Structures are given as C-alpha cells and as structure tokens.
Amino acid sequence: MQNDADVIARDHAEREFPFPRPAGPLGPPLEYARLRAVQPLSSVKLWDGSRAWIATRWEDVRAILGSPHFSVDPFRPGYPSVSPARAVQARSRQAFINMDDPDHARFRRMLTKDFMQKRMSDLRPMVRTLIDGLIDKMIEHGPPLDFVEYFSQPLPSMVISALLGVPYEDHTKLGTWSNTRNDHTASPEVVQEAVRKMEAHLGLIIERKEADPGDGRDMLSRLVIEQIRPGHVTREEVVRIASLLYSAGHGTTGSQIGLGTLSLLMNPDQRAELDADPSLLASAVEEMLRFHTIAHFNSARVATADVMIGDQLIRAGEGVYPLIFAANRDPAVFPNPDTFDIHRNPQEHVAFAYGIHQCLGQPLARLELQTVFSMLFKRLPGLRLAVPVEALTFNSTSQVYRVEALPVTW
C-alpha cells in the first residue's frame, strides 16, 4: 500500500503549476508546505504539457541558485515557462538577467558602481524629498485615497527615472508597457508589442543622449560615454539594460512598499513598536521582503549538467523553479514562517534571490523601503485602511505579486 507521501506527491504531480493561493492573499500556495514535507523537489506539469521541477526547501533553492550547472538562458532547450506570454517575455528580454556568465558578468560589471552603498547614501536626501512631496500631495488631496496611486507606485518610478535620466513624465507609458510585458496572462502578441514600444521609446532617449550626454551624471548618459562611444556595447544592448532596470526598478519596489505598508496596518502592535524603536527598521524591512517575496515565480532555470539537489537527480536539459517564496516560508530556517514578525531579522531570506543573479538593485530597494518606513507613519500617524482587508484585490498574474489598490484614510 502506498504511504501518504506517495499519494501527496502523485496528486500534486498532476496539478498544473503555478498553483493558486487559497490560504489567502498573503499566504503561499498550500502545496508548497505539503511538498516541502514529503518531496521537496517535485515534478510539476506546465501549461504546454511539459514538466519542470519545483524546489520548496530553502537549502535546495540556495543550492540551485548558487550552482554553476543551471542556466537562465531562455533559448536553451528545456527552459520552462509558466505561460505562453512568459515564454515570449523571457526571450524578448535579452538583458543580463537572462544571460549566463561570462556575458552576464560583463554587463553586470558596467553597473555595479551605480548601486554601491556610498552612491546609495548620496541618494538618501533626494529620496526623502520625494517622499515628503508625495505625502504633501496626499494631505492636500485629503482622505480617503488610494495609497498605491498616490504613493507606493510613483515613488520608485520617480527614483528610477532620475537615476536613469528618463523624464518622469514618461512613467505612465513606460509603466503600462512594463506591466503588460510582465503579465503572464497577456497574449504573446500583446507582450511583444509592449516590448517593442518600450524599447523604441528608450531607444530614442538614448539616441538623444548620444548626441548630447550633458554632464554624464545619470546612468544612461554614463553608459553612452563609457560604453557606447568606445564601442564596448551597442545602443540596442543599452536599450535592453535600460528596459530591464526600469521594469525591475519600479514595479518591484512599488509593490513591496504597498504590501509592506499593508502588513504594518494589519499589525498595529508591531507598527507601534516600530514607531517607538527606530532600531527595528532594518529588521522590519527584511521581514517585509521575506514575508511577501513579491518575485513569486523568480526566473526559471534549466540544468546544464546532471546535478544532485538534495536526494533528487536533475538531469541536463530539465527545467527548474527554485521557488524563493517557498524557501522564505521554510520552517527549518524561519520558525513560524507564516507569521509576520518585525523582530525576526531574517538575514538569510532569499527575496532578492541568491548567487550571480542576486538582485543588483537591492541596495536601492532597501534605501527606498527604509526611508519610507522611517517617515510615513511619523507624518501620517493616523494612517489606516479605509476598507476591510477582505475587500482588497491582489494581482498574482504578473511576475511581481502586488496589491492592486490600497484605500487608506488617516
């Protein structure tokens, strides 16, 4: 007779990945915990009938992300995708997030100094000014209003636009194209069109900077001077870098600010503790990153050699999802993982992934998040939800999980 573990594993093998979130909008799919307990590397079915492995233990997820035997190249046979749109997105996103070393390292190196700690500290006054300005506008409008529209979405768009040297007025167009591109449920043609428009628009901006890079202080002007002019890279390559940085830089951080704010509004005791003790700020932000793990289907991998992960042999050519959301809810590393706890200081979380593709923009994301949560509740002490939590809607069909709107009052 088969034991429970076999039954659970077989049952899940026939379900199509990705799984829904019946445990509520902030909880991972129930399958993650079940599979982690009985079969931490599980074979799942994808939309096109192909199969891929999903990894649900923190240890295995880190092992895959840290291994040189997995590729992020979507053109390799066996590279998995969660939908037809996602297959097109990955292939049309030939920036370094979808390249293996040494190409990946060559491009990433061009940007490392832009995200160094010192550069981030220099940005702090600008971020504070932007936050103050957005809160002034909220106060001017008066409650209630949608926090996503008035605050969590515009702030990272303003910051990344300033860093790249892209006019902020373009954010509606760029934001819409970027969201369409990341929507798993869009039709492949619509995704392709959004990519084309976004790249054409950024191409024009870069062309203008080639004609006149000004003082060369913004990132794109610097890339023009240091990389395009000496012939190290082409304009098209810089367009793809710009497109990656814009998409990665605004949607992610915007979503994290929205969901982080929601967590504190749902946990008033912890919010009061944070107000009273600013030394909890860094730990609170890490816990928001761990708890929500917004990049919920982070980049797929395909094995380039036969590799043992835990007790499971993954063969060359097989697709894998190292699920960072599941890893960040692994009780072996994070006791009571489904509880939001700002005291936890979860240094080992993998919300920014791990290994060579670990998020390049994480110092910027941390700067924005820590500055927001050091200012928001001081300026709006009465901030609270204007609707019951149950009335909120969440988007799980994008590469980045997010709350659609957050009606607040104060």
Q: List interacting residues with ligand HEM (CB under 6 A).
A: 72, 96-97, 108, 160, 244-245, 248-249, 252-253, 256, 294-295, 298-299, 324, 351-353, 357, 359-361, 364-365
CB nearest ligand HEM: which residue? 361
Shortest CB 253 distance to ligand HEM, Å: 5
Shortest CB 194 distance to ligand HEM, Å: 19
Shortest CB 4 distance to ligand HEM, Å: 33
Q: Per DSSP, what are the bridge partners of residue 172?
A: none
Residue type for 211, please? Answer: A
* Cα–Cα dist 65/71, whole Å: 10
The angle subtended at Cα 17 by Cα 13 and Cα 21, nearest 5°, is 110
Our CB check for ligand HEM shows the closer of 72 and 110 to be 72
Hey, what's the torsion of the CAs at 84, 177, 253, 25, to 10 degrees?
-50
> Would you say the C-alpha torsion 259, 265, 270, 273 has a positive or negative sign?
positive
Our CB check for ligand HEM shows the closer of 34 and 293 to be 293
Shortest CB 142 distance to ligand HEM, Å: 29
Concatenate the DSSP letters of all residues of 274-301 into one string: HHH-GGGHHHHHHHHHHHH-S-TT---E
Shortest CB 10 distance to ligand HEM, Å: 29
Our CB check for ligand HEM shows the closer of 374 and 409 to be 374
How many whole angstroms from its chain centre is CA 92? 18
Our CB check for ligand HEM shows the closer of 40 and 249 to be 249
Omega prior to 18 cis, within 30 of 0:
yes
* Cα–Cα dist 300/47, whole Å: 15
Shortest CB 246 distance to ligand HEM, Å: 8
Our CB check for ligand HEM shows the closer of 194 and 245 to be 245
* Cα–Cα dist 20/27, whole Å: 10
Our CB check for ligand HEM shows the closer of 8 and 111 to be 111
SS3 409: strand
